[in-house]
Homo-oligomer: A and B are copies of this chain.
């Protein structure tokens, strides 16, 4: 048994380990259950150590929000590229919902304004703009000939709204009762809502 001190002392990748621990903690307990000390504890490190990698608690959350927007943008982009000729709106909404389900912690932090200071971290908002831009571009490609620019933008925000509303209600457990009353599951209900919206769009 080689002494582990070498590898342990200079952790090697404490920064990533802290981010991982934060995601696990938030997934399990919610944003409120997250603390810098607990994150340090889970990474096997003293309370002082995280401050070598993040200015403070809010800075860690801001990094997570930014990564979240980048991940979301990537997943939306992938959904668009699967059907390049005419983007499938329900497919796009499903991609948003899947993101919210698989990356609960990111999703929570991204849309909780109090979690980090927006003005102190403009890079987060810019990553958000890019993610929303994917939806906008996809719709312009699909419906650009039928609508003027302003209508297109409103349509894009409407799509965002449906996706975000569904994902939020699903994640917050608000679909649990409603889906049971309808004899289905929360996830299936979310999919049906996306489908119903697609039909309204003539898709």
- A contact set with B: CB distance below 8 Å: 29-30, 32-33, 111-114, 118, 125, 128-129, 132, 150-151, 153-155, 157-158, 160-166, 168-169, 172-175, 177-178, 181-182, 189, 192-193, 195-197, 200-201
Assuming the contacts A161-B166, A165-B168, A168-B165, asked whether A173 and B118 have C-beta atoms less than 8 A apart, the reply is yes
- In the assembled complex, 12 residue pairs joining A and B whose CB atoms fall closer than 8 Å, in A order, are A111-B168, A113-B172, A113-B173, A125-B177, A128-B174, A132-B178, A157-B175, A157-B193, A158-B193, A161-B162, A164-B168, A164-B174
What's the nearest-Cβ distance from chain B to residue A171, in Å? Answer: 9
Across-interface contacts of A189 in B (CB, < 8 A): 157
Majority DSSP secondary structure for residues of A touching B: helix
Compute how far the CA of A168 lies from the CA of B129 in the bound complex, rounded to whole angstroms: 17
Contact of B158 with A196 in the complex, beta carbons under 8 Å: yes
State how many angstroms separate the Cβ of A139 from the closest Cβ of chain B: 12
Highest count of chain B CB atoms <10 Å: which of A195, A197, A201: A197
A104 to B70, CA, bound (A): 29
User: Chain B residues near A29 (CB, 8 Å)?
Assistant: 114
The 7 closest A-B pairs by CB, nearest first: A165-B165, A161-B165, A164-B165, A30-B114, A200-B200, A154-B196, A161-B166
- From B113, B153, B162, A162 is in contact (CB under 8 Å) with B162
A84 to B193, CA, bound (A): 26
Q: Which residue of chain B has its CB nearest to the CB of A200? A: B200
* Docked CA distance A4–B195 (Å): 63
- List chain B residues, Cβ under 8 A from A113: 30, 172-173
- How many angstroms from the CA of A111 to the CA of B118 in the assembled complex? 22
